[in-house]
C-alpha cells in the first residue's frame, strides 16, 4: 500500500480498502524502521494519529475532504507548524514552537492531510546536501538499495559500506528521503536556489518548484524572500499536480502572491508531443557535467524528437554570471532575514548578560553554524553603503538580464526547456564533505538557481528510470502553468518504470 | 503631567514668540517663496534669554543659523502599518502585539490601506507631489525594541515629495505684525515605529514593550529653511494643526504621537554651511525652540573660541536647558539599506490612470482623496478674519488651543453680541481663566451657552461690564447656574430706574462738595471720582456712561 501513488492510495481510502489510521500506522512504523536515514527531525506521532482518527470519522460519515483526506504527508522543518517544534535544523530555533501554521501547512490540514512530522534540512535551508544541519546529515534511501550495494561491491572491495552512504542533496533532503522511503505520500520542501529539485533529483522523486507568487510563503521561515517558494515532493507528477492544486492561490497574508484566480491543474491522459517546441540551453552543457547525466539528457531529448517534438538549441547567454549574482543577492537577504534572531523574543539565548550587545553576539555565535554566519557576514559586506552599488545593485541588474534570457527564449516560440538538475548523480557523503558548503552550493545549484532569480518560471524535476540510482531532468516552462506538468508527465509516461528499491 | 506639557507649549501667544529682526533691513518681508532663501543674519529671538543669532562679540562678522527638521507623526489608525494589531496609547505592556510585530519567523508584512490614505492626505495637504509608485526598504540596526533587526521604511522612493508648509511668525514688536514664511518639505515617508525599552538601572534590566512596534509613522522631512527655534516651533505647530485637521495623526507631542529631531548648523552668510548636529527626541514645541536656540548659541560659542563642531547626535536636557552629546553610536551606523522583498511596489492611481474595472477596495485614487480633504487651518483662519473682522493673531490663538475654535463658534451661534466682543471675551477672559487653572477647553466649567447668555445680558445693557465679569467668575465657581440666576441672586442688574439714579447722583454731589468744586475748576479727573462714588453707592449696578451723563448735566445746569 505504501508503494502506491497519492492518487492510488486516495482511491483505496475512498473505497475502504484501508483506513486512514491503518495507513498512518503503517507510515509511522516505516518511519521508525528507517530512522537511520535521519529524514525526520520531529515525528508528530500523536498529532498524526489524532488527525487520522478524525479523517476516519469523516470517511465513515461519507464527508471526505477530498483527495488529500487521510493522506500522510511530511513538512520540511522550516515551515511553521502550530504547537509542533520548528527548528530549521539550527541551535537557534531548537525548542521553538510556533503559535501558528504556515499557510501551506494549514491548507494541507484543511484538506484532511495527516502530518507525520517535520523533515531534516541544512541549517536554515543553506546548503545543497542536507548535511549541514544541527541534527546531522540525511542519508539517501538509495544508499541501501540492492542496486547501489551491488555497484559499490564491484567498484571498491573492502570499503566500509556504512560510511559510503549517499547524500540526498539539499536542502530539502529530509522531505525527499521521506517520500523516497515511502514514509509519506507527499512532502513540502522549499526552493530558493534548487533546494527542492536538487534532493528530488538525487532521491528519485518528483520535485516541483512553483512560480514565485503562486504559492504562499507565509509561515515559511525565509532564506531569500525574493526567491523562496514552497516546493512539492511526490513520487509521481500527477501527485505533485494534486498537491499544487491544494496549495496554489492568493494568500492575504503574503502580499507577493498573485491575485488572479488559479485554474485547476490537471494532467492530460494523452498529450500531443508534436506541437511542442523543446529548448536545450547550450550554456548548460557545462564541462563539469558528468557523462551519465549528459547521456541521459540527450536520451530524453532524442526521445522527444522521435515522438515528433521540435527540439532546438537555445541560448541563455547570461547563465555563467548567474551563480555569482545569486550568491550576492542570497547572502544579502540572508544577512537581513537573520537579524531577527537575537535571542530576545524566541529561540536560543546565551547565558551572557554583560550587555545587550554581548548577549546578541554570543547568542548568534552559539545559535548559528559556520555556513549561516559566513553568509550573514558576506551579505552585510555587500549591503554596506560603500559596497551597495558595486555588488547589490549590480547583482540586481544581472538578475534582470538573466530573467530576460528566459523571457526571450520563451518569446521565441520555445514551450519548455529541458535541462539537467545537477551536474552529477548523488555522491557519497565522504566525498561530498571534501568541499565546503559554499563550493558545493555553487556547483549544485548551477542549473537550478537561475529560474529562482527569473521568478516567473515553473520548474519540475522528473525521475530517471535509472538502473543504479536516480538522476533527473529538469523541465522549465514560462507562465504557462500546465505545460511543465504536462511535459513532465509525458517523460514519466515514456521513461519511468517503477523501482522496487526499498522493501 | 502628559497633558500639561502640551498646553504649556501652546500657551498664550506662543506663535508670536518668533524671530524678529535685530535691525529693520529685512524684517517684515512678505511671504517667503519657495526659492527665496532669506538672509539669516541679525535675527534674534524675541523674549528669549538665549540670543540665537547675533553679531560676533568681536564685532566683525555675522552668524547665520540653519535649521532643518525630521518629524515623526504617528498615524491615527485602528491597526498597525503592517499587521492587524490594534493601536492604543497606554495599553497594558505587550498587549497589542501580533506575531508579525514580535517578528516571529515566517511572518510577512501586509500594508494597511488606512495608513497609505493618511500619507496621501498629508502629502496633498502639504502641497507635495504624490508618487504613483513608491517602494519600501529595510533599514538595519540592532536594538532591543526593534525585534526584526530592521525597520521597514521608504528610503529610495517615498510616497510624497517636494511640498511646502506655510507658517506665520511675528516680525515686529506688536503681535499684529505677522509674517508668513514657507518651509520646503523634502519628503514624506511611511515607516514602522519601534517598540519601547524601559531601563531598570538598579536591576540592570531592560524591559521591552512592543505595543508601539509596527505602528505606522509618517516621517516628514523639512528642508533647512528655518533659522531659529521659534521658526521651527511655529512650523511644527502648524504641521500639528494640519495633521489634526486631517485626522491623520493625533499629533500629541506629550504622548509621543509627534516627535521632532532637529538638524542645526551655523555659518557666516555667503560661506558654505557649517557642520551640523542633530538634536533628537524633542517632545514639546517649547523644548524644541529652546534646544535649537541653545544649540545655535553653543555652536557660535565653540566656533568663536576656535573649536570645531562635531557631526554628532545630541539630546536636550529640559531641566538644565542645554543639549548634550548622546553616547549611543547610532548616528555613525551603516544601516545597510535593502529593498523590502516582501512588499510589492506601492502603486497609487488618479482618475486618469485608474485601471478600468478596478475594485475600489484594491486601489487608491489620489483625486478621490483630494476632493475630500477637510478645511485646513490656513483656510479656517482666513475665514475667521473675513467673517468676523478678527485680527490675524486672534485667529491663530483660536486655532492653537485645542477645542477653542469650536467653543468660540458655539458662543457666536447663540449670542447677539458683536463678534469682536465675543472674540475679546473668549480670548482674554475665558482663555485667561483656563490658563490660570491649567485647564483644557473641554474641562472648562463654563459652557458656550452660558457665556453666550452672559454676553446677551451685556449686549442689552442689562448688566455692566464689571458685573459681567463678576457673573463670569461666579459661573466658573458654581457649575449649573445660569447667568440670569446669578445676576438676580447677586442683584447685579443695572439700575434701569433713571430717577432713582438721579437721586443717588444728587446725594453723592451734595456729600462731596470739594470734588464738585474741583470739577467745576476744570480738573478732568474729578468726574471720574464722582462716577466711582456713584457706582459704589449703587453697588456697581449703574452704567458708568449713564452716570457720567447725569453728572455732567447736573453740573452744567
Residue B519 has what pLDDT? 80
Burial class (CB in 10 A: 0-12, 13-18, 19+), A75: buried
Tell me how far CA of residue B10 lies from CA of B14, B17, B238, B295, in angstroms: 6, 11, 11, 22
State the DSSP H helix or E strand holding residue B264, giving kind and residue range, or none if neither: strand B258-267
- From A195, A216, A378, A460, active-site residue: A195
Nearest CA in chain B to A220: B106
Nearest CA in chain A to B145: A344
Cell 525527499 maps to which residue? A176
Q: CB distance B108–A102 less than 8 Å?
A: no
Nearest CA in chain B to A216: B108
Asked if B84 is an interface residue toward chain A (Cβ–Cβ < 8 A), one would say no
Average pLDDT across chain A, whole number: 86
**In this predicted model, what pLDDT tens digit does every residue of A215-233 receive, in sequence order?**
999 999 999 999 999 999 9
Burial class (CB in 10 A: 0-12, 13-18, 19+), A387: middle
Q: Which residue has the higher pLDDT, A460 or B524?
A: B524
Residue A465 has what pLDDT? 34
Q: CB distance B149–A254 less than 8 Å?
A: no
Residue B328 has what pLDDT? 59
**Active site (annotated) includes residue A172:** no
Smallest Cα distance from A221 to chain B, Å: 4
Q: CB distance A218–B343 less than 8 Å?
A: no
Cell of B338: 535593502
Q: Find residues 322-351 of chain B whose CB sits inside 8 Å of chain A.
A: 334, 336-338, 341-344
**In this predicted model, what pLDDT tens digit does every residue of A17-28 receive, in sequence order?**
999 999 999 999
Nearest CA in chain A to B142: A339
Asked if B109 is an interface residue toward chain A (Cβ–Cβ < 8 A), one would say yes
CA distance B282 to B299: 19
State the DSSP H helix or E strand holding residue A277, giving kind and residue range, or none if neither: strand A277-281
Residue B57 has what pLDDT? 52
Residue A444 has what pLDDT? 79
- Phi/psi for A49 (5° steps) reads -65, -40
Q: Are strands A472-478 and B133-134 parallel, antiparallel or unpaired?
A: unpaired
Name the residue among B106, B110, B341 with its Cβ closest to that of A219.
Answer: B106
- Phi/psi for A188 (5° steps) reads -90, 135
Residues in chain B with CB shorter than 8 Å from the CB of A98 are 104-106
Q: CB distance B149–A340 less than 8 Å?
A: yes
Measure the N-to-C terminal CA separation of chain B; round to a whole number of Å: 64
CA distance A453 to A445: 12
CA distance B492 to B479: 18
Q: CB distance B341–A346 less than 8 Å?
A: no
Domain residue limits, chain A? 6-247
Q: CB distance B343–A255 less than 8 Å?
A: yes
Residue B15 has what pLDDT? 31
- From A64, A171, A190, A332, active-site residue: A171
Dihedral angle sign, alpha carbons of residues A195, A201, A207, A208: positive
Determine the Cα angle at B224 with ends B221 and B225, to 5°: 115
Q: Which of A1-5, A99-103, A113-117, B552-556 has the lowest mean pLDDT?
A: B552-556
pTM: 0.85
Name the residue among A222, A256, A360 with its Cβ closest to that of B344.
Answer: A256
Nearest CA in chain B to A78: B106
Smallest Cα distance from A363 to chain B, Å: 13
Name the residue among A98, A224, A383 with its Cβ closest to that of B104.
Answer: A98
Smallest Cα distance from B350 to chain A, Å: 22
Smallest Cα distance from A6 to chain B, Å: 28
**In this predicted model, what pLDDT tens digit does every residue of A429-454 receive, in sequence order?**
998 988 888 888 888 788 888 878 77
**According to the CATH classification, is domain A6-247 in 3.40.50.300?**
no
Predicted confidence pLDDT, tens digits, chain B (557 residues): 333 222 223 223 333 323 333 333 333 333 333 333 333 333 333 333 333 444 445 556 799 999 999 999 999 999 999 999 999 988 999 999 999 999 999 999 999 999 999 999 999 999 999 999 999 999 999 999 999 999 999 999 999 999 999 999 877 776 667 788 999 999 999 999 999 999 888 888 889 999 999 999 999 999 999 999 999 999 999 999 999 999 999 999 988 999 999 999 999 999 999 999 999 878 888 999 999 999 999 999 999 999 999 999 999 998 899 999 986 555 568 999 999 999 999 999 999 999 888 888 889 999 999 999 999 999 999 999 999 999 888 998 899 888 999 999 999 999 999 999 999 999 999 999 999 999 999 999 999 999 999 999 999 888 888 889 989 999 998 878 899 888 888 877 877 778 888 888 888 888 888 888 888 887 878 888 888 888 888 877 787 888 888 888 887 77
Asked if B102 is an interface residue toward chain A (Cβ–Cβ < 8 A), one would say yes
- From A10, A44, A55, A76, active-site residue: A76
**Active site (annotated) includes residue A76:** yes
Nearest CA in chain A to B137: A336
Smallest Cα distance from B326 to chain A, Å: 18
Residues in chain A with CB shorter than 8 Å from the CB of B103 are 340, 345
- Phi/psi for A221 (5° steps) reads -70, 120
Flag whether pLDDT at A488 surpasses 60. no
Q: What is the DSSP letter of A447?
A: T
**In this predicted model, what pLDDT tens digit does every residue of A257-275 receive, in sequence order?**
988 887 777 665 445 677 7
Q: Please give the full DSSP string across B469-503, using - where no structure is assigned.
A: HHHHHHHHHSTT--HHHHHHHTT-SPP--HHHHHH
Q: Averaged over A34-47, what is the pLDDT?
A: 97
Residue A442 has what pLDDT? 80
**Could you give the ipTM of this predicted complex?**
0.91
**Active site (annotated) includes residue A195:** yes
Residues in chain B with CB shorter than 8 Å from the CB of A259 are 362
**In this predicted model, what pLDDT tens digit does every residue of A67-85 receive, in sequence order?**
999 999 999 999 999 999 9
Which of A194-203, A402-411, A479-488, B254-263 has the largest mean confidence? B254-263
Question: Per CB distance under 8 Å, which residues of A are interface residues toward B?
Answer: 79-80, 88, 93, 98-100, 102, 217-222, 224-226, 252-256, 259, 332-333, 335-336, 338-342, 344-346, 356-357, 360, 380, 383-385, 388, 392
Packing angle between helix A481-495 and helix A237-247, nearest 10 degrees? 160
Flag whether pLDDT at A461 surpasses 60. no
Residue A81 has what pLDDT? 98
Nearest CA in chain B to A221: B106
Q: Find residues 442-461 of chain B whose CB sits inside 8 Å of chain A.
A: none
The residue among B82, B105, B116, B357 with the most chain A CBs within 10 A of its CB, best to mutate, is B105
Q: CB distance B106–A252 less than 8 Å?
A: no
Domain residue limits, chain B? 68-339, 377-489, 498-556
Name the residue among B104, B147, B341 with its Cβ closest to that of A225.
Answer: B341
Residue B229 has what pLDDT? 95
Confidence of residue A462 (pLDDT cuts 50, 70, 90): very low
Per CATH, which fold does B498-556 belong to? Arc Repressor Mutant, subunit A (1.10.10)
Cell 502530518 maps to which residue? A115
Q: CB distance B147–A335 less than 8 Å?
A: no
- Residue from B40, B421, B75, B56 nearest B249 by CA: B75
Q: CB distance A340–B144 less than 8 Å?
A: no
- Count A/B contacts: CB-CB distance under 8 Å: 99
Tell me how far CA of residue B76 lies from CA of A14, B122, B221, B367, B529, in angstroms: 54, 12, 19, 21, 60
Asked if B499 is an interface residue toward chain A (Cβ–Cβ < 8 A), one would say no
Smallest Cα distance from B111 to chain A, Å: 8
Find out whether A448 and A197 touch, Cβ atoms under 8 Å: yes
Q: CB distance B336–A335 less than 8 Å?
A: yes
Smallest Cα distance from A247 to chain B, Å: 17
Q: Which residues contact B182 (CB under 8 A, 6 or more apart)?
A: B31, B32, B33, B34, B164, B165, B166, B167, B225
Nearest CA in chain B to A102: B106
Amino acid at each position: 500500500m505504501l508503494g502506491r501513488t497519492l492518487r492510488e492510495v486516495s482511491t483505496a481510502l475512498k473505497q475502504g480498502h484501508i483506513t486512514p489510521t491503518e495507513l498512518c500506522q503503517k507510515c509511522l512504523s516505516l518511519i521508525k524502521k528507517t530512522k537511520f536515514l535521519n529524514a525526520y527531525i520531529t515525528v508528530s506521532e500523536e498529532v498524526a494519529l489524532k488527525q487520522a482518527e478524525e479523517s476516519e470519522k469523516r470517511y465513515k460519515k461519507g464527508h471526505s475532504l477530498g483527495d488529500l483526506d487521510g493522506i500522510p504527508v511530511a513538512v520540511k522543518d522550516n515551515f511553521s507548524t502550530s504547537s509542533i517544534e520548528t527548528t530549521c535544523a539550527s541551535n537557534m530555533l531548537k525548542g521553538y514552537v510556533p503559535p501558528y501554521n504556515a499557510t501551506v501547512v494549514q491548507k494541507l490540514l484543511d484538506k484532511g492531510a495527516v502530518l507525520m512530522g517535520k523533515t531534516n534540512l541544512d541549517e536554515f535551508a543553506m546548503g545543497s546536501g542536507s548535511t549541514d544541519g544541527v541534527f546531522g546529515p540525511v542519508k539517501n534511501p538509495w544508499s541501501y538499495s540492492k542496486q547501489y550495494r551491488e555497484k559499490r561491491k564491484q567498484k571498491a572491495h573492502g570499503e566500509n559500506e556504512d560510511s559510503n552512504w549517499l547524500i540526498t542533496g539539499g536542502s530539502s533532503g529530509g522531505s525527499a528521503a521521506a517520500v523516497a522511503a515511502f514514509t509519506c505520500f507527499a512532502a513540502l520542501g522549499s526552493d530558493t536556489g534548487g533546494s527542492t529539485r536538487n534532493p528530488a533529483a538525487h532521491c528519485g522523486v518528483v520535485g516541483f518548484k512553483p512560480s514565485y507568487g503562486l504559492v504562499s510563503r507565509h509561515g515559511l521561515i525565509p532564506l531569500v524572500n525574493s526567491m523562496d517558494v514552497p516546493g512539492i515532493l511526490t513520487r509521481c507528477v500527477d501527485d505533485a499536480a494534486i498537491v499544487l492544486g491544494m496549495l496554489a492561490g492568493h494568500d492575504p497574508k503574503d502580499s507577493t502572491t498573485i491575485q488572479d484566480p488559479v485554474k485547476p491543474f490537471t494532467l492530460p491522459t494523452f498529450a500531443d508531443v508534436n506541437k511542442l517546441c523543446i529548448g536545450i540551453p547550450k550554456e548548460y552543457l557545462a564541462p563539469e557535467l558528468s557523462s551519465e547525466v549528459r547521456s541521459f539528457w540527450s536520451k530524453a531529448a532524442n526521445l522527444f524528437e522521435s515522438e515528433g517534438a521540435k527540439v532546438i538549441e537555445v541560448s541563455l547567454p547570461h547563465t555563467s554570471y548567474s551563480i555569482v549574482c545569486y550568491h550576492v543577492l542570497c547572502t544579502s537577504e540572508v544577512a537581513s532575514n537573520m537579524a531577527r534572531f537575537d535571542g530576545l523574543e524566541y529561540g536560543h539565548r546565551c547565558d551572557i548578560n554583560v550587555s545587550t550587545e554581548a548577549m546578541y553576539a554570543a547568542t548568534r555565535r552559539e545559535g548559528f553554524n559556520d555556513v549561516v554566519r559566513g553568509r550573514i557576514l558576506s551579505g552585510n559586506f555587500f549591503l554596506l553603503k560603500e559596497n551597495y552599488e558595486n555588488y547589490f545593485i549590480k547583482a540586481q541588474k544581472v538578475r534582470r538580464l538573466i530573467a530576460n534570457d528566459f523571457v526571450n527564449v520563451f518569446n521565441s516560440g520555445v514551450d519548455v526547456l529541458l535541462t539537467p538538475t545537477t551536474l552529477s548523480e548523488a555522491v557519497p557523503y565522504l566525498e561530498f564533505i571534501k568541499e565546503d558548503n559554499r563550493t558545493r552550493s555553487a556547483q549544485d545549484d548551477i542549473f537550478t538557481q537561475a529560474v529562482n532569480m527569473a521568478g516567473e518560471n515553473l520548474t519540475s524535476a522528473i525521475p530517471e528510470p535509472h538502473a543504479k540510482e536516480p538522476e533527473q531532468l529538469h523541465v522549465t516552462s514560462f507562465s504557462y502553468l500546465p505545460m511543465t506538468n504536462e511535459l513532465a508527465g509525458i517523460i514519466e509516461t515514456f521513461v519511468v518504470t517503477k523501482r522496487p528499491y526499498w522493501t | 503631567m502628559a497633558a500639561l506639557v502640551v498646553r504649556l507649549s501652546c500657551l498664550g501667544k506662543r506663535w508670536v514668540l518668533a524671530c524678529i529682526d535685530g535691525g529693520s533691513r529685512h524684517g517684515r518681508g512678505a511671504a517667503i517663496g519657495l526659492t527665496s532663501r532669506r538672509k539669516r543674519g541679525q535675527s534674534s529671538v524675541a523674549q528669549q534669554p538665549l540670543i540665537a543669532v547675533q553679531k560676533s562679540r568681536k564685532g566683525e562678522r555675522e552668524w547665520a543659523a540653519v535649521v532643518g527638521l525630521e518629524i515623526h507623526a504617528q498615524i491615527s489608525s485602528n491597526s498597525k502599518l503592517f499587521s492587524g494589531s490594534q493601536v492604543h496609547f497606554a495599553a497594558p505592556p505587550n498587549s497589542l502585539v501580533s506575531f508579525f510585530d514580535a517578528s516571529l519567523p515566517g511572518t510577512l508584512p501586509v500594508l494597511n490601506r488606512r495608513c497609505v490614505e493618511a500619507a496621501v492626505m498629508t502629502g496633498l495637504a502639504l502641497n507635495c507631489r504624490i508618487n504613483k509608485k513608491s517602494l519600501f526598504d529595510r533599514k538595519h540596526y540592532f536594538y532591543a525594541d526593534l525585534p526584526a533587526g530592521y525597520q521597514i521604511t521608504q528610503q529610495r522612493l517615498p510616497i510624497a515629495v517636494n511640498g511646502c508648509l506655510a507658517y506665520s511668525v511675528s516680525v515686529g514688536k506688536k503681535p499684529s505684525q505677522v509674517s508668513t514664511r514657507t518651509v520646503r518639505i523634502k519628503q514624506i515617508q511611511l515607516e514602522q515605529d519601534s517598540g519601547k525599552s524601559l531601563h531598570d538601572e538598579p536591576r540592570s534590566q531592560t524591559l521591552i514593550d512592543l505595543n508601539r512596534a509596527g505602528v505606522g509613522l509618517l516621517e516628514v522631512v523639512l528642508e533647512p529653511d528655518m533659522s531659529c527655534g521659534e521658526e521651527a516651533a511655529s512650523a511644527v505647530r502648524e504641521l500639528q494643526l494640519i495633521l489634526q485637521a486631517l485626522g491623520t495623526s493625533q499629533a500629541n507631542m506629550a504622548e509621543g504621537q509627534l516627535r521632532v529631531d532637529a538638524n542645526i548648523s551655523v555659518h557666516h552668510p555667503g560661506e558654505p554651511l557649517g557642520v551640523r548636529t542633530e538634536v533628537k527626541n524633542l517632545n514639546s514645541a517649547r523644548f524644541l525652540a529652546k534646544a535649537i536656540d541653545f544649540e545655535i548659541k553653543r555652536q557660535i560659542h565653540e566656533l568663536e573660541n576656535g573649536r570645531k563642531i562635531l557631526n554628532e547626535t545630541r539630546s536636550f536636557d529640559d531641566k538644565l536647558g542645554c543639549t548634550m552629546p548622546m553616547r549611543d553610536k547610532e548616528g555613525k551606523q551603516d544601516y545597510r539599506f535593502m529593498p523590502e522583498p516582501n512588499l510589492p511596489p506601492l502603486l497609487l492611481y488618479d482618475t486618469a490612470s485608474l485601471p478600468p474595472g478596478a475594485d475600489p477596495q484594491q486601489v487608491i485614487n489620489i483625486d478621490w482623496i483630494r476632493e475630500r480633504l477637510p478645511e485646513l487651518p490656513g483656510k479656517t483662519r482666513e475665514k475667521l478674519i473675513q467673517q468676523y473682522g478678527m485680527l490675524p493673531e486672534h485667529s491663530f490663538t483660536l486655532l492653537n488651543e485645542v477645542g477653542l475654535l469650536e467653543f468660540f463658534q458655539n458662543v457666536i451661534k447663540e449670542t447677539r453680541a458683536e463678534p469682536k466682543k465675543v472674540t475679546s471675551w473668549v480670548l482674554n477672559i475665558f482663555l485667561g481663566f483656563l490658563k490660570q487653572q491649567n485647564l483644557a477647553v473641554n474641562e472648562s466649567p463654563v459652557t458656550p451657552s452660558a457665556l453666550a447668555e452672559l454676553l446677551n445680558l451685556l449686549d442689552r445693557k442689562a448688566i455692566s461690564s464689571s458685573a459681567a465679569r463678576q457673573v463670569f467668575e461666579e459661573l466658573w465657581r458654581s457649575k449649573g447656574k445660569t447667568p440670569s440666576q446669578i445676576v438676580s441672586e447677586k442683584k447685579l442688574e443695572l439700575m434701569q430706574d433713571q430717577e432713582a439714579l438721579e437721586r443717588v447722583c444728587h446725594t453723592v454731589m451734595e456729600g462731596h462738595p470739594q470734588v464738585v468744586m474741583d470739577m467745576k475748576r476744570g480738573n478732568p479727573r474729578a468726574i471720574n471720582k464722582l462716577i466711582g462714588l456713584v457706582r459704589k453707592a449703587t453697588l456697581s449696578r449703574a452704567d458708568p456712561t449713564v452716570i457720567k451723563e447725569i453728572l455732567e448735566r447736573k453740573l452744567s445746569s
